[in-house]
């Protein structure tokens, strides 16, 4: 298939894509379904994926599209093309075409992204929108798929131990359990589409700020004033 990057012409009418993103290797499936405009750059798409999946943008990433890698250039990483100049609509997608996105080269979270629909007549300022999703993405730096599976079992065991201690009148001090902080708040089955779309709306307002598009190291600064649903 010819890559439209060799042809600088843009689509003549506003287009949007309905994408399904799911994290490979984990069952039950962790996925998100969303719509994004065709003029979305790969740099912005990276941040959209981070927000809808629930990642914190702590690590490097890359897209693999038709045999070539793309991503935002950070210190220590290099890509031949500028992700701020390449748009999703530069590729001649067909329905059911797929590409991949890797986040965190150590834990290697591999996402498959499938083009489910191609829509025309999109409003010029229409922001990306999350349509549906299931389950929370793994905690940052948990160690990859196998470590995630073991840690979720550990989380259940430790929470059970705490509850049993309370029921038996001999509560266990959480400080006595050597577990990471996220063990007390992480809920693997939780997904809040309303909050995701609230953050996407904020992201869309900030998309022109170069410091955001090149940011790495967490989103707290950008979303700290967002009210909870």
Number of H helices, E strands in the chain: 5, 7
Does the reported pTM lie above 0.85? no
Handedness of CA 127, 79, 86, 134 (dihedral sign): negative
Q: How far apart are CA 58 and CA 218, in angstroms?
A: 6
Q: How far apart are CA 158 and CA 64, in angstroms?
A: 39
Strands of 31-37's sheet in order across: 68-70, 61-65, 98-103, 109-120, 15-23, 31-37, 129-134
Q: How far apart are CA 115 and CA 98, in angstroms?
A: 6
- Work out the percent of the chain whose per-residue pLDDT is above 90: 52
pLDDT-derived band at 3, boundaries 50, 70, 90: very low
Nearest Cα residue to 104 out of 71, 47, 60: 60
Task: Give the pLDDT of residue 99.
Answer: 98
DSSP states of 27-52 as a string? SS--EEEEEEETT-BHHHHHHHHHHH
Task: Give the pLDDT of residue 1.
Answer: 41
pLDDT tens string 142-170: 999 999 988 888 777 766 666 666 666 66
Residues 6+ apart with CB under 8 A from 73: 79, 82, 83
Q: How far apart are CA 154 and CA 160, in angstroms?
A: 10
Task: Give the pLDDT of residue 126.
Answer: 76
- Average pLDDT on 77-106 reads 93
């Amino acid at each position: 298939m010819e890559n439209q990057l060799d042809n600088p012409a843009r689509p003549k009418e506003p287009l949007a894509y309905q994408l399904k993103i799911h994290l490979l290797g984990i069952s039950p499936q962790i996925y998100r379904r969303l719509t994004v405009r065709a003029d979305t750059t790969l740099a912005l798409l990276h941040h959209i994926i981070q927000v809808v999946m629930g990642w914190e943008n702590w690590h490097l990433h890359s897209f693999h599209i038709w045999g070539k890698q793309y991503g935002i250039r950070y210190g220590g990483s290099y890509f031949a093309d500028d992700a701020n100049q390449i748009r999703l609509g530069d590729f001649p997608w067909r329905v059911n075409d797929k590409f991949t996105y890797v986040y965190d080269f150590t834990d290697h979270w591999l996402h498959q992204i499938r083009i489910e629909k191609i829509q025309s007549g999109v409003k010029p300022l229409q922001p990306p929108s999350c349509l549906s999703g299931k389950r929370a993405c793994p905690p940052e730096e948990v160690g990859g798929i196998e470590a995630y599976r073991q840690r979720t079992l550990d989380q259940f065991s430790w929470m059970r131990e705490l509850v049993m201690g309370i029921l038996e009148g001999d509560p266990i001090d959480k400080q006595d359990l050597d577990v990471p902080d996220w063990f007390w708040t992480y809920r693997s089955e939780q997904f809040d589409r309303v909050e995701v779309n609230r953050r996407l709306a904020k992201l869309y307002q900030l998309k022109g700020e170069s410091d955001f598009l090149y940011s790495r190291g967490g989103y707290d600064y950008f979303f700290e004033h967002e009210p909870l649903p």
